[in-house]
A = this chain, B = another copy of it.
Amino acid sequence: MDWLDSVKWDGDGLVPVIAQEAATGDVLMFAWMNREALAETVRRGQAVYWSRSRGRLWHKGEESGHVQQVHELRLDCDADVILMKVTQLGHAPGIACHTGRHSCFFRRYEDGAWRTVDPVLKDPESIYK
């Protein structure tokens, strides 16, 4: 699989992945894939990451139902970062973050502090039952 060999995997065999919502352009989250996760993502057409905390493949949405349908994969100039265009399924508007927010990037820098500026769309306790 040449296209998998073209990716410059880091010392841990991982590549950083940016998930961007196709319809809005919103950057939803950032995670990691290993070779198997990337192959599985392409095979399923849904995001499969490598969970560094759990040390296993993580089919995004496997618990929450918040699956990411993958429309496009892009590789950067150094072949060591992937950008993925997705539709965030399972809730409208899409919830990518485990906090129940649309995007993981819900804190904005303002005057020397990170302020939470985006609302919780669904209580995480009802997402992860």
Contact = CB atoms under 8 A, between A and B. Distances in A.
Interface residues of A, number: 37
A114 B3 contact: yes
Nearest to A99: B77
Interface in A46-78: 72-78
Given A18-B30, A113-B3, A108 B76 contact: no
Interface in A75-129: 75-79, 81, 83, 97-99, 101, 104-109, 112-114
A109 B27 CA distance: 19
Interface string A25-39: 111011000000000
A27 B79 CA distance: 15
11 contacts: A1-B112, A3-B109, A20-B27, A25-B25, A29-B76, A30-B76, A74-B107, A75-B105, A77-B97, A77-B98, A81-B104
